[in-house]
Structure 1
Amino acid sequence: MGEWLRMKGPRVYAAAGRLLRGQAVWGRALSGILLMGGALLGGGAVAQEQDAGGIPDIIVTAQRRAQSVQDVGLSVSVLSAGDLATHHVTSVNDLQNMTPGLEVTNAFGGGQPQFRIRGVGFNDYASNNTPTVGVYVDEVAYPLPIMTQGLVYDVDRVEVLRGPQGVLYGRNTTGGAINILTANPTDSASAGITADYGSYDAAKVEAYVSGPVSDTVKVRLSAMTQQGGAWQTNRLTGQDLGNANRTAVRAKIDWAATPDTDVRLNLHYGRDLSDGTGGYLFNPAVQPGVGTLPADTDPSKTGWGLSPAFAKVIGADPNAKPFRNNTSGGADLTVLHRFEDVTLTSITAWEALNRKEFNDWDATAYRDADEYFNSRAQDVSQEVRLASSGAGRLQWVGGLYYSHETLREAFLSDFTDIYGFIANTRYAQTAESISGFGQADYAVTDRLKLVLGLREEHEDRTLRTFSTITIPDTGIGVSADKVPTGFTQTTGKAGVEVKVTDEALLYANVSRGVKSGGFTAYNTLALGGLAPFRPEVLWAYEAGVKSDLANHTLRLNASAYYYDYHNQQVQSVIIDPTFAAIGKIVNAPRSEIYGAELQADWAPRPGLLITQALGLSHGEFKEFNAVDTAASLATCYPCRPVYTNQAGEDLGFPRITYNGGVSYDWALPGHTLKTEADYSYRSSERSLLGSRYNVAGYWLVNAAVTLAPDQGPWTATVYGQNILDRRYDLLRNFFTNADIAIPGRPATWGIRLGYQY
């Protein structure tokens, strides 16, 4: 341990110095907050119980057991069912406007989400690689990003964990984890329905019924449907784009098999027939042989076109607009048995997705980059764990995890007008993972706790029957029967937690996480593009404070972190002697990220709640020689790679994320009127493609007013999203001759009615 500290310590201290010297504002703000917290804590007059106007305690299971969020030595944000309803959350992507440091952006507006927490992310529009942020629903991992795009409904809470999760969770990740916990069957009969109607004829209905059906069996049935909402139009024809058409159902069955054994079956299904999302042209698009299409001044304008030849190949109507035809479903069985001081938990799960999706990434009727995905993915997993359940200074959990995932995908691109052919890529992929894990918390004293966790994981990942051909046949293409990769890695965590008082926790952690390697499964025409990229490894150092002050009316949490990033997986290019530049994911040998976060919740009087959350982060390459595409192409033919040193260059993510909100309950005769407003900010994002593709920073403001009787089953809400009608882009990119941006939604308004029995 001493040798490890000798090697790693100077990097940590140097990063801390840069954070405070180079980002003086951050340092002063964080120091001021910590000093204020220390002064308040020094008085030692914090009440043991919160009053009626205080901030309620929140119970989480982030460490596989029920704990107060303020007693967990981790950086974690918790969103309740009420938070999700207030902020109009219907998908995992919507969580980014409520959580500092979290970003979820779909690649080019398509169905492939790209997750990032504290700048740790992975840009990839193919379907076959694991994310840096793990997504779990009722403790079941969704290993491929495309599997996470179902509706979020009938949820108890969402927990967002920042930093590597290399011990307790099914999938090893470098960025963090998002845990979605859906509502469970109730002990007494209950039912509810919520109906929502808003701008652009957007409608949403959610309903559930729950309760016992016998002395030992409880059931909860829930469903949701989302329709309408098209706010984009074809710039030439006026046809609308963006209507939702999503439906999902879930059944949860609880069976008390014996006094010590509980069994839960979770069955769920979803269907998505929604329109795709269109981009707009932020620069004129030159179309050889046709002319120049001017830039769009209105981001709601877009374009698309489906050639008869491409429509025939993918089996679609030639008049179709960008679409999805996706089905998802799964089943998981959880068995929990309580021994005297130990609890045994078994989770057996199966998840599947069938995806058919057409997108027009060049945002014109020109056949420049029209894309179609036909994917079939499924994952089978088994987790078995034992955990201590008795009182004592030592608390522990340990177990085994196994998963087997399969993917078969066809990825077709219509390049007819630019290159003269359709690229047809098809492949299969399998991945098998097995790991053993364990974590122990030992209370040395009533105030001091030590934490140690380890995970040993082995994974085999294989790309099979890969081929890219052209239609019509041009005589070029590539194929490979079997390309393997994998890893065996030890990850873990060591931490210390100190209870300064009953209401204040100091913590420090060192953790190591790993993200799987994989394959660049694009329509490559050279075998070099199929070489696997290596796993990335992240060492994370974090220290923080959690406190409930002023009679539990002020909650103040702060943290600072440094990430030592090795073999970061980066979207780049390689140079082939014959085929020139080929898009490929490569490994940057070393990068670093450092930053700080602050969260403050204040309830100065009953009914009034003010929340603020600020995230500050900076990341840069330390070692990375990237291909200079323009200089390399100047050497052709044959082409030779020319490299440029990227050391010191920004990693390309917002340095500032900020979320805040204010709510107040007004007492009316027999009723309560709740008024609330929330706001969020993301600073500008530098693009690795060049400054013209930088994404400008933006503010979003939302508001809602809810009326409910003091004794009654109904609620009525009027709300507005992006009420300042801010124009903003989620991302910018290009395809051959088209510079495109994916816009955020404009101002929308609506009404929501709810009834619960």
Structure 2
Amino acid sequence: MLSFFALSINICSSSTSHKTLNEYKIKILRYTTLFAKVYTKKVTNHMILMKRTTLAILINASLFSAVAGTSFASLAKQQEETDNKSKQLEVIQITARKRVENAQEVPIAVTALQGDALNAYNSAGMDIRFMNAKIPSLSIESSFGRAFPRFYIRGLGNSDFDLNASQPVSLVIDDVVQENAILKGFPVFDVARVEVLRGPQGTLFGRNTPAGLVKFDTVKPSQEFEGYASVSYGSRGAIDMEGAVGGALSDNISTRVSLLWQDKDPYIDNRAPGLEAKDQLGGYTEQAARIQFLYEGNDFTGLLNYHTRDLDGTPIVFRANAIKAGSNDLVDGYEHDVMFQDGAARASIEGQSQGASLKLEWEFESYTVTSISAWESAEILAHGDVDGGYGASFLPDFMGPGFIPFSSETADGIPDQDQLTQELRLLSNFDDALNYQVGVFYFDEKLTIENFSYDSLSSPAGQLNGYAIQHQDTTAWAVFGAVDYTLTDALKVTAGLRYSDDEKDFSADREISPFGAPPLRIQRSVSDNHVSWDLSATYKVNGNVNWYSRVANSFRAPSLQGRIVFGDEVTVADTETVTSFETGIKSDVLNGQGRVNVSIFYYTMDDQQLTAVGGNDNSNRLLNADKTIGYGFEVDSEWVLTDELNATFNISYNNTELDDSSLAVAVCAQCTVTNPTTLVDGQTFALLDGNSLPHAPEWISNATLRYSKALGEGNFFAYGDISYRSEINLFLYESIEFEGKALLESGLRAGYLWAQGDKEYEVSAFVRNLFDEQQAIGAVDFNNNTALVNEERYVGAEFKVRFF
């Protein structure tokens, strides 16, 4: 390149040449064109992902300025501006308010997860729980493993393990609400972006959003042919394969097919005496697929989405007396690949789901009309040894590990679930100060749940000794609207309103009781309506700083609980309502190389729906707390440190407190309760006034660091992250054993990325839970100090190819 530059200068400056200046220019142009072709080909084949060096940029600027008469200084200045812009953070576009907007200009505390961070967190065949503690104020846990995630935002969630449990955090995938918790466990693959909206979202998204919303947007079809395929192999023989391909079928129709296959060998040995088995639990096979068709006309688009999932595996392992008495430590000698169960041979989890949606959108001169019709269906059966051990106290020569008061082996299933939703909305696209959207929404769900109990100690073992079936029909509808008005160039206000009507018809039938109780049938119906609202304002302090304030109200409709295999009661929780106040600053700093968003919030919740899980038996009981108070702050930041180094840091503080002097629940069988207690009919109850909510850590923090360096004909990269959540109460009451320890987990992903022809290749190695931090993240309290423990360290490698 340097010799070519010297040649061009020599040709131009030679005083002995007999050619005209125009001929010189023509010759230079030919050389330049030839060089450009060679250089472009080389870049295409070998250096697509590398930045052009400053020297190369200056040389090319010289060549073209000589031909075109442009000054070198002018081009250098333009390049400097380009370089500065390349160092800036990208603008994040979100659809949190059902229109495409800059995340920095939306009066909502929202975090978007995409790109490298999403890829790194989702390594190792993780399910949706990979998001736990990765976003301010968000935590996720499950006592079913991959199938039944429970979300918590700003301390608000639901620890209920019943398949009919409602949650105050809503999950929306491709504009369709996933109501049942089984639907929320759909695998994460070929996803473009995740948005987490903190605080009530009752105006635009409606029922069951008093805590917030998690929104997934998958990659959509396009006219461009492109796709990817990846395969990874990791600890315990885990294999993760996924891929997608899409492109044009015609000038107006495009498609995209996305596939996922995950498999992990069983690796947990059973050492219960007389029941020894190697590699009995811990494995799974999961398959999922999504196919989409997109039609694009002049002013009309239609998107058809079909998706399906199949899970066949074993549930999360219950570990009897794994928590050391008088502490919250795991017992000495704990081994993650060892358990002691008399029901392990029958433990399994099988689930299938499928769904389809049709999104139609008409673009008019000043309006957009959108219709979203969707159907979701799921089936599941999860069977587990809940006491987590073998034998029982009345068999002194066959019991362990530790003291097992009685054997508990159960299964819960959904043989049939169907959900239909329809949304229709009108969105204005005016160029003036006023814009609005209005819409209607309809929801219908038919749900059947089966509860089973088994005798682990029968002969033959595992005979059915309890059975009940529940049916619930839910219908809900709503009308909603929101108005945006620009008062001045700096001040914009938004107001929203939604009327919702909700009705549930429920029946529970117990046919077999493990205690010999007679058959029982209970029917209940509940209904309510509510007006949700919000009011917010955004003030542009300057071109880089926006200040917002928001007050919002939302609700969760009445809930029913009917696990009557072990009891005779169907409990009802009345409607809960929340009013939230928040304010915050969203700022771009350091000439666009940094982004810092800060929010402060305070909320009060009336009649919060709570679940007394366990306590005196393997059942759940719904109740309402008079008032719950929460407050805290969130900091979310991104930084471009150098051309090669990017970082993020976030931290949140959440304080939650129950305010109800009469609220009490039954306590554990063997733990050390630290709450004040009282006797009710001879049974010990803990008084909950002043307690924080379960699974509500005060502190959540996450930091990431990404390094990228041009190396050879590609890029070396390394991505590290570390996340922290503080102590949590595993139940509504407080106890020494069931205070979950603070959890610190970290991960690392490093690899090499290069291009060849029309393909990009990536090879990487990764590790999750780098320091193998293991502790109780869930528990069973009605029998013994049974623990559910987080995943062990996972190490793997991945190969990925992208094609265009």
- Once residues 714 and 618 of structure 2 are traced to their aligned partners in structure 1, the CA distance between those partners, rounded to angstroms, is 66
- Once residues 600 and 212 of structure 1 are traced to their aligned partners in structure 2, the CA distance between those partners, rounded to angstroms, is 38
Between the aligned residues of both structures, percent identity stands at 23
Pairwise CA distance, 1:239: 2.8
Residues 1:671 and 2:732 aligned together? no
Aligned to 2:152: 116
Aligned to 1:323: 348
- Once residues 617 and 411 of structure 2 are traced to their aligned partners in structure 1, the CA distance between those partners, rounded to angstroms, is 25
- Once residues 283 and 584 of structure 1 are traced to their aligned partners in structure 2, the CA distance between those partners, rounded to angstroms, is 26
Q: Match of 1:107, SS? A: coil
TM-superposition CA deviations, 1:89-133 (whole Å, max 9, x none): 643221114212111111364733221111001121111132111
TM-superposition CA deviations, 1:674-709 (whole Å, max 9, x none): 111100001111243422111000211100112012
- Once residues 746 and 643 of structure 1 are traced to their aligned partners in structure 2, the CA distance between those partners, rounded to angstroms, is 35
Aligned to 1:746: 792
Further displaced range: 552-561 or 405-414: 405-414
| TM-score in terms of structure 2 length | 0.80
Pairwise CA distance, 1:300: 3.5
Counting only pairs closer than 5 Å after superposition, residues 685-696 of structure 1 correspond to structure 2 as 685-687=728-730, 688-689=732-733, 690-696=735-741
Pairwise CA distance, 1:81: 4.1
2:634 is aligned, of 597, 605, 608, to 597
Change (3 A) 1:415 1:590: farther
Residues 1:268 and 2:307 aligned together? yes
- Once residues 559 and 703 of structure 1 are traced to their aligned partners in structure 2, the CA distance between those partners, rounded to angstroms, is 29
TM-superposition CA deviations, 1:368-406 (whole Å, max 9, x none): 221212202110010000001232211211100001001
- Once residues 239 and 612 of structure 1 are traced to their aligned partners in structure 2, the CA distance between those partners, rounded to angstroms, is 40
Change (3 A) 1:686 1:191: closer
TM-superposition CA deviations, 1:259-310 (whole Å, max 9, x none): 2111110011110012211022345899xxxxxxx9862244223334xxxx
1:648 is aligned, of 690, 703, 716, to 690
TM-superposition CA deviations, 1:122-160 (whole Å, max 9, x none): 121111132111011100001111211121111111101
How many residue pairs match? The answer is 681
Aligned to 2:564: 523
- Aligned residues: CA RMSD: 2.7
Residues 1:496 and 2:537 aligned together? yes
Larger radius of gyration: 2
Change (3 A) 1:698 1:231: farther
Aligned to 1:345: 370
TM-superposition CA deviations, 1:461-480 (whole Å, max 9, x none): 1112x122435671345321
- Once residues 50 and 281 of structure 1 are traced to their aligned partners in structure 2, the CA distance between those partners, rounded to angstroms, is 58
- Once residues 121 and 357 of structure 1 are traced to their aligned partners in structure 2, the CA distance between those partners, rounded to angstroms, is 22
Pairwise CA distance, 1:61: 0.4
Aligned to 1:86: 120
Further displaced range: 235-244 or 585-594: 235-244
Counting only pairs closer than 5 Å after superposition, residues 661-740 of structure 1 correspond to structure 2 as 661-687=704-730, 688-689=732-733, 690-709=735-754, 712-736=759-783, 738-740=784-786
| TM-score in terms of structure 1 length | 0.85
- Once residues 728 and 581 of structure 1 are traced to their aligned partners in structure 2, the CA distance between those partners, rounded to angstroms, is 23
Pairwise CA distance, 1:531: 3.5
Where in structure 2 are there 5+ consecutive unaligned residues? 1-80, 326-330, 392-405, 668-675
- Once residues 365 and 266 of structure 2 are traced to their aligned partners in structure 1, the CA distance between those partners, rounded to angstroms, is 57
Contact 2:657 2:693 in 1 (8 A): yes
Counting only pairs closer than 5 Å after superposition, residues 275-674 of structure 1 correspond to structure 2 as 275-283=314-322, 297-306=334-343, 320-366=345-391, 368-375=407-414, 376-414=416-454, 422-464=465-507, 466-471=508-513, 474-480=516-522, 482-523=523-564, 527=568, 529-572=569-612, 583-627=620-664, 629=666, 636=681, 645-652=687-694, 653-674=696-717
Change (3 A) 1:184 1:733: same
- Once residues 431 and 76 of structure 1 are traced to their aligned partners in structure 2, the CA distance between those partners, rounded to angstroms, is 30
Pairwise CA distance, 1:321: 4.1
- Once residues 595 and 589 of structure 1 are traced to their aligned partners in structure 2, the CA distance between those partners, rounded to angstroms, is 21
Aligned to 1:160: 196
- Once residues 419 and 217 of structure 2 are traced to their aligned partners in structure 1, the CA distance between those partners, rounded to angstroms, is 19
Residues 1:242 and 2:282 aligned together? yes
- Once residues 189 and 650 of structure 1 are traced to their aligned partners in structure 2, the CA distance between those partners, rounded to angstroms, is 52
Aligned to 2:142: 106
Change (3 A) 1:524 1:590: farther
Contact 2:466 2:512 in 1 (8 A): yes
Q: Which amino acid aligns with 2:628?
A: S
Pairwise CA distance, 1:601: 1.1
Contact 2:513 2:565 in 1 (8 A): no
Change (3 A) 1:642 1:589: farther
Q: Which amino acid aligns with 2:786?
A: I
Change (3 A) 1:604 1:79: same
- Once residues 74 and 605 of structure 1 are traced to their aligned partners in structure 2, the CA distance between those partners, rounded to angstroms, is 30
